[in-house]
Amino acid sequence: MKQGYVYVLAALLAVIGLSVFLYKWQVLGFPLSEDQEKPVWTVESAVHFDSGPGSIKVQLHIPTLTPGFRMLNENSVSRGYGFSINYGSGGREAQWAIRRADGEQTIYYRISVYEDDTVDESDTTPPFPPLPVINEPLKTAVDVLVADVRDHSADTASFTTELLRRLNDPSPDPNVELLLSEAASDAEFVDVARTMLASARIPARTVHGFSLAGRQRNASLVSWLEVHDGDQWLYFNPATGESNLPDRFLVWWRGNEPLVNVEGGSNVEVDFAIQENHLDAVAIAETQVSQRGASAVGVSLYSLPIQTQAVYAVLLMIPIGALIMVVMRNIVGVDAFGTFMPVLIALAFRETKLLWGVVLFTTLVALGLSIRFLLDRLRLLLVPRLSAVLIVVVILMMLISLASHRMGMETGLSVALFPMVIIAMTIERMSVVWEERGAVDAMRAGLGSLFVAIAAYIFMGMAWLEHLIFTFPELLLVILALVVLAGRYTGYRLTELRRFKELAAK
């Protein structure tokens, strides 16, 4: 019955811990390992224009739906202008307005994005477009071409491919030539293709954007054709008919409207500059937490002041040490002094590093023990004797620091955090065991403590583990579950297999 509760409790703890962990890792994108960085692109659009005499209103299309990318942040730099973001027919529009401005004006809009494959086009399925009104003789040319392309295709995708092939034919047929006679720019070319698709009742729109790669001073916008096949949006390169977006293609805006519209200004120009940075994945995940309103599970230690963070980075490793202790005591069966003494020693080793820590610990305990035996002759009462040992330990530590400093070994100075009270208690316990059970038992338990401390130090010092626990503190619940389970482990300890070997042999 009770055994059952234990399993249920352990399973519950583990499930809660693991599910929060998985959510934070998979959905919020907290990184599993330290120093994991993600490329972040900052795209800066600069709108230059000459101001007119009256009030000025600038409207700029800005990214709305960006498949493959997630926005980290955006901002605008514009001296004196009022800034707002509105939703227009083509998506989001940034709007700046000012009553009066003099001379050449530049307005900046900056957005930072990072790659995220989970972002896709969450656009709704568009309605069938109305038949475009086209005047003769273009209408006949369109009808003939659409009928012909339809004969040579099976579905929306192949229709579009075939259409683009014909439009791009180096020796076009007369109908195509007629239709393209008016199209001077890329955008107008895409517009022709869109009209044709509309005549075949296929929803299509133009997308404008650029491939993000490295640093670009003057990135030029590329127009692609976006076609809906009833289930999803497909992308086509209008110049080649190629049907996959280039890698890292950031969609800036959709539709036929011009990128920028300036009322009360002239000589409008828009530049795009792209810069690639690398940002800590944790910082990116942090913004995810706030954007998704997932602060309940996403509560993270990174929001604490740096100094407190440093304390917790150490504190959160203590449960790991406790787990090692449980394994060593109850499953392996190592003799050690005190319940958590080795864990505290392991913590001290963090400051001193392992080799020096072991040397220091052994020296202190050995010296302390010999002095403890001398004190024994004085027949002091227990508490004064313990205090005397403690004072001796402090003096010894001081002498060791001074000596090592004189010898030019700066490591000797890192002893300050060595848990002297724990060492004093260890010396006392060890001397009592020494007297009563003999040197062998005392040495065994002493070495056992040191062994557990080293094991705990090794695990507690693993940088990836520290990062993992610090980033995902919910994993402590999993450790708790393991400790609870170990609490009901009634099998043999490893050392018992040796101890009872005479019984097994018979």
Partner 1 sequence: MFSAARQLREKGVLGLNERNADFIMRLNPRRFYPRVDDKALTKELALAAGMAVPDLYGIIEHQVQVRQLTDMVGDLESFVIKPAQGSGGDGILVVTGRSERKRDSFRLSSGALVSKGELEHHISNIVGGQYSLSGNRDKALIEYCVHFDPTFAEVSYQGVPDIRVVVYRGYPAMAMVRLPTRASEGKANLHQGAVGAGVEMGSGVTLAGVLNDEIVEEHPDTGALVAGVEIPQWQFILETSAKGLEVTGLGYLGVDMVIDRDRGPLILEMNARPGLNIQIANGTGLADRIARIDELYDASATPEERAEISRREFKLER
Binder of partner 1 out of 8, 399, 432, 458 (CB under 8 A): 432
Give the three-class secondary structure for 454: helix
Q: Is 407 in the site for partner 1 (CB under 8 A)?
A: no
In angstroms, what CA-CA distances link 183 with 168, 204, 417? Answer: 12, 18, 78
Q: Which two tokens stand for residue 108?
A: 């900046």
Binder of partner 1 out of 53, 306, 307, 379 (CB under 8 A): 379
Binder of partner 1 out of 100, 278, 292, 437 (CB under 8 A): 437
Q: Is 387 in the site for partner 1 (CB under 8 A)?
A: no
Nearest to 488 by CA among 326, 337, 333: 326
Binder of partner 1 out of 239, 312, 441, 465 (CB under 8 A): 441
The identity of residue 303, as a single letter, is S
Binder of partner 1 out of 154, 306, 383, 407 (CB under 8 A): 383
Number of CB atoms found within 10 A of residue 250's CB: 21
CB 504, min distance to partner 1, A: 4
Q: Is 1 in the site for partner 1 (CB under 8 A)?
A: no
CA angle 188, 192, 197 (to 5 degrees): 140
CB 382, min distance to partner 1, A: 3
Chain centre to alpha carbon of residue 269:
37
CA distance linking residue 449 with residue 342, whole number of Å: 6
CA distance linking residue 333 with residue 144, whole number of Å: 88
Q: Which of residues 159-218 bind partner 1 (CB under 8 A)?
A: none
Q: Is 7 in the site for partner 1 (CB under 8 A)?
A: no
The answer to whether the beta carbons of residues 220 and 205 sit under 8 Å apart is: no
End-to-end alpha carbon distance in the chain: 35
Binder of partner 1 out of 12, 438, 443, 463 (CB under 8 A): 438
Stretch of residues binding partner 1 (CB under 8 A), selected from 32-40, 357-365, 374-382, 387-395: 374-382
Binder of partner 1 out of 42, 64, 330, 411 (CB under 8 A): 330
Tokens 């099976």, residue? 154
Binder of partner 1 out of 258, 333, 419, 461 (CB under 8 A): 333
Binder of partner 1 out of 184, 382, 407, 408 (CB under 8 A): 382
**DSSP code string of 386-427:** HHHHHHHHHHHHHHHHHHHHHTT-GGGGGGGGS-HHHHHHHH
Q: Which two tokens stand for residue 43?
A: 């795209």
> In the complex with partner 1, which residue's Cβ is closer, 296 or 381?
381
Binding mask 277-316 for partner 1 (x = CB under 8 A): ----------------------------------------
CB 362, min distance to partner 1, A: 24
Binding residues with partner 1: total (CB under 8 A) = 28
Give the three-class secondary structure for 460: helix
Q: Is 489 in the site for partner 1 (CB under 8 A)?
A: yes
Stretch of residues binding partner 1 (CB under 8 A), selected from 154-162, 201-209, 408-416, 481-489: 481-489
Nearest to 350 by CA among 389, 311, 324, 323: 311
- Please report, as ranges, the residues that interact with partner 1 according to CB under 8 A: 330, 333, 379, 381-383, 432, 436-438, 441, 487-494, 496-497, 499-504, 506
